[in-house]
Amino acid sequence: MQEIIRAEDLRVRFIVRKRRASLFAPREKAVVEALRGVSFSVNAGEIVGYLGPNGAGKSTTVKCLSGILTPTSGTATVFSRVPWQERVAHVRKIGVVFGQRTQLWWDLPVQDSFDLLCDIYDLDKRAYAQTCRELVECMDIGDLLRTPVRQLSLGQRMRCDLVASLLHRPRILFLDEPTIGLDAVSKLSLRAFIRDLNREQGVTVLLTTHDMDDVEALCRRVLLIGRGRLLLDGSLDDLRRLAGGKRVCRAQVRKADFPLPPGAALRSRRGEEAEIEFDPETLAADQLVLHLARTAGLRDVQIQPPSLDETMAALYRQMGEVEG
């Protein structure tokens, strides 16, 4: 496996000025440490999910790696280049999508934006026409090419944005919340497209998102970041274990009131449906089921790991307690 991204001890610090408390009070400055020493590496052909709560430093990392931002200290190499030192050579090799912002020219038709990018990247006309045709077909945006960008819906715009980021055939794609605000159909097609891109062309993808379905569908490896520090580098199972490895037992019970054994807690109750969270380390699943059968009049039971969203929420709460 060939390593193509390496970040070592990345630190980014910036100053936020706050409003004076009163006219004569000195102006307060707060130093925000967006990144406090983040190190990791990514191999060619991986799709890595880069997760963390709002303000954790995800976008900041992506901006450093795409050469847009110079970190306060630390180094990074992408294709053995330091992005912010050789920005122009570096950005030729990467594609960037910031889901909250568009890189298309607002008052031009989509095709004009693409053609302009072709000139800015100085692409070979014929190769560009070929790439463009493929991508347009793949993302199904043929009908939109002559529409001004300002008149596209969010889903349409996002598909066009993704195509725009791939016209120069980058080997690495940085996706910063690409599915934000999209409907189910658009999300699914975007995910399928990213997966194909990775499988068939070996494009390496670093994906930041809050949509855990994106992560489940695309990423085998995740990096978890909180308050500027890397907290986990591993699989989705590692993530669940970090969150405490709890299980959720959804039970249909007849009795309105029943005792629970130690290690289990009632999370919700609606009619006969009870949701019980338990820790398999202290309470084995068969013990819990047996207990419910004996005391609660058990009719049906399902035992699952908590959803990734719940896992993340639990993790974020833990992080808050540890560092808050």
- The H or E element containing residue 194 is helix 184-201
**Contact between 176 and other proteins per CB under 8 A:** yes
**Contact between 66 and other proteins per CB under 8 A:** yes
Count of residues engaged in binding other proteins, rule: CB under 8 A: 33
Q: Which two tokens stand for residue 291?
A: 């207990």
In the three-class reduction of DSSP (H, G, I as helix; E, B as strand; rest coil), residue 15 is classed as strand
Site for other proteins in 2-31 (CB under 8 A): 14
**Contact between 157 and other proteins per CB under 8 A:** no
- Cβ proximity to other proteins: between 156 and 165 the closer is 165
In the chain, what is the greatest distance between 2 CA atoms, to the nearest angstrom?
75
Q: Which two tokens stand for residue 297?
A: 């009049």
- Cβ proximity to other proteins: between 251 and 312 the closer is 312
- The H or E element containing residue 64 is helix 58-65
**Contact between 92 and other proteins per CB under 8 A:** yes
**Do the strands 3-17 and 29-43 form a parallel or antiparallel pair, or are they unpaired?**
antiparallel
Q: How far is the CB of 27 from other proteins (least distance, A)?
A: 15
CA dist., res. 118 & res. 15, Å (int): 37
Q: Which two tokens stand for residue 250?
A: 């959804």
Identify which range of 92-100, 198-206, 256-264, 296-304 contacts other proteins by CB under 8 A: 92-100
**Contact between 67 and other proteins per CB under 8 A:** yes
- Its sign, for the CA torsion 258, 250, 313, 244, is positive
Of 11, 74, 81, 121, the one binding other proteins (CB under 8 A) is: 121
CA dist., res. 175 & res. 236, Å (int): 19
Look at residues 169, 175, 172, 202 and name the one whose alpha carbon lies nearest to residue 191.
Answer: 175
* Beta-bridge partner residues of 41: 6
Of 45, 81, 111, 116, the one binding other proteins (CB under 8 A) is: 116
**Contact between 124 and other proteins per CB under 8 A:** no
Identify which range of 114-122, 130-138, 185-193, 235-243 contacts other proteins by CB under 8 A: 114-122
Interface residue list for other proteins (CB under 8 A)? 14, 54, 59, 63, 66-70, 87-89, 91-92, 94, 96, 98, 100-103, 105, 107-108, 112, 115-116, 119-122, 176-177
